[in-house]
Amino acid sequence: MTKIKVIFEDTELLVLDKPAAIVVNKSDTTRGETTLQDWVEKEFKIQNSEFRISKEIKGKDKYEEQAKLNFVSRAGIVHRLDKETSGIILVAKKPSAFINLQKQFKERKVKKTYLALAHGRIDPPEGEINVEVGRLPWNRKRFGVLSGGRGAVTHYKVIKNLKLKIKNFQEGLSLVELYPKTGRTHQIRVHLQYIKHPVFSDPLYAGRKTSKADRKLLPRIFLHASGISFYHPGTNKLMSFESPLPEDLQNFLQQLSD
């Protein structure tokens, strides 16, 4: 398993830097591969078979009781990243921290930043995408812009315009910073596809022909969770963390021209 970097740790939480190609949570489809949850359970002993919720919370508050059970079943992992997406992820080390951080996500107090390389030159270079996102009824593995979906808002800012040159082929690309105000599944990927600038090497939303060509050059999606800020669940102090682009994405950028 690729080494997982611990950016920050104290008695309440962990801030991890997840490499690409690692699934976050265990499921029936992850049997035979080591997930981030497996690693957390092993390293920090938050395990279903060993960790038990204390009796005093039973029946006290149904929401709190369920949240604490979720803490155990997810090994304290507060939120998710797609398998191929690298970057920052939060893990609570105790139930109270898990509940606090999940509440911050729900109340949109957590601010996240992503870096993506998108096809084409995005114009205007800064703006907001505000369209509903939902699971596609005809393909349960994919999401899309759907009437009746859940509200989803992503602010974006182009950092740099770049060019991909291969033999006689040339394409403009946009290195873009994204700030999702909501946390829908595949939100950034769907929103960029919606404005006709899909993420480079996205196997689901860039289109079959495009993604096939992309993945010959970069075998993973160019999407990285680069920053996060939240209030510490114990001290309520505002905390901010950053994760630099991993080496594979940096190397790919160096192959592009301005």
Q: Please give, one letter per residue, the 3-state secondary structure of 22-70.
A: CCCCCCHHHCCCCCHHHHHHHHHCCCCCCCCCCHHHCCCCHHHHHHHHH
Burial of 238 (0-12, 13-18, 19+ CB in 10 A): exposed
Q: What's the pLDDT tens digit per position in 146-182?
A: 888 899 999 999 999 999 998 888 899 999 999 999 9
What sign results for the dihedral spanned by CA atoms 81, 203, 216, 114? negative
- What pLDDT is stored for residue 195 in this prediction? 97
- What pLDDT is stored for residue 45 in this prediction? 73
- What pLDDT is stored for residue 51 in this prediction? 47
Q: Which of 17, 38, 82, 214 is catalytic?
A: 82
Residue 248 among the catalytic residues = no
- List of domains in the chain: 1-107 (3.30.2350.10), 111-258 (3.30.2350.10)
- What pLDDT is stored for residue 34 in this prediction? 87
Which residues in the chain land under pLDDT 70? 1, 28-30, 46-65
- What pLDDT is stored for residue 245 in this prediction? 97
**Percent of the chain surpassing pLDDT 70:** 90
